[in-house]
């Protein structure tokens, strides 16, 4: 009985010392964003594939289109305030290589973090109104999807042929 009371009081003290979910985060003055970010998931169709491009921004991201000829993603949006921040996650298999980012036709400074399966691009800008951001890659991996089955068949044929040649 004493053990149960002791354990119950420890659990009760532990629950009372944990901050509530409605607590204000401890963020120093001036470091919090004036406008919180919104996450969008975009399904981009490229050839016979569908890729998931994720954007998080504190302005209205209206649309994303893909131009496979130029290997570029075109993001259109509209901002009603300054101090805009955006983060874009692009799968390696959609576009890759050396990525360049431009906004309204002018190259901008970005942070590009290559990950295991995707690139994460982060940037800031102070423009209000309509904005167009383009991300251009040097490679578009599905462009070789038509030749991949042929390469596989030829490689299997070579393996089978070399096994038969060794028997003679």
Tell me the per-residue pLDDT of 13-65, one tens digit each, with 9 for 90 and over: 666 565 554 444 444 445 445 556 788 899 998 878 889 999 999 998 889 99
Q: How far apart are CA 75 and CA 61, in angstroms?
A: 7
What's the rounded Cα separation, in Å, for the pair 65 and 46? 10
The pLDDT tens digits of the residues spanning 114-156 come to 988 899 999 998 889 999 999 999 888 654 555 556 666 667 7
Q: What is the structure's pLDDT at 15?
A: 60
The alpha carbon torsion through 100, 106, 109, 112 (nearest 10 deg) reads -20
Q: What is the pLDDT of residue 150?
A: 66
Cα–Cα distance for residue pair 138/95, rounded to 1 Å: 7
Q: Pick from 81, 82, 64: which is nearest to 73 by CA? A: 64
Q: Supply the pTM of this predicted model.
A: 0.64
The per-residue pLDDT for range 66-101, each reduced to its tens digit, is 998 899 999 999 988 888 899 999 998 899 889 999
* Rounded average pLDDT over 108-119: 90
Residue whose pair of structure tokens reads 């299997």 in the numeric block: 156
Report the alpha-carbon distance of residue 117 to residue 60 in Å, rounded: 26
Please tell me the predicted confidence (pLDDT) of residue 19: 55
DSSP 56-92: EESSEEEEEEEETTTTEEEEEEEESSSSEEEEEEEET
Q: What is the pLDDT of residue 17?
A: 61
Using CA of residue 54, residue 75, residue 109, residue 34, what is the dihedral sign?
A: negative
| Amino acid 68: pLDDT | 87
Task: Name the residue with tokens 């070789």.
Answer: 144
């Amino acid at each position: 009985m004493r053990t149960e009371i002791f354990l119950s009081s420890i659990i009760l003290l532990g629950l009372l010392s944990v901050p509530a979910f409605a607590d204000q985060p401890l963020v120093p003055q001036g470091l919090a964003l004036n406008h919180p970010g919104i996450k969008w998931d975009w399904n981009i169709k490229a050839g016979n594939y569908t890729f998931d491009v994720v954007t998080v921004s504190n302005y209205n991201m209206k649309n994303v289109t893909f131009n496979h000829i130029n290997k570029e993603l075109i993001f259109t949006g509209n901002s009603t305030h300054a101090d805009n921040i955006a983060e874009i996650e692009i799968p390696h298999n959609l576009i890759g290589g050396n990525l360049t980012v431009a906004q309204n036709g002018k190259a901008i400074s970005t942070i590009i973090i290559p990950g295991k399966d995707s690139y994460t691009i982060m940037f800031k800008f102070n423009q209000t109104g309509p904005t167009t951001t383009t991300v251009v890659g040097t490679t578009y991996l599905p462009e070789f999807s038509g030749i991949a089955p042929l390469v596989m068949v030829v490689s299997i044929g070579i393996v089978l042929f070399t096994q038969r040649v060794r028997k003679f």
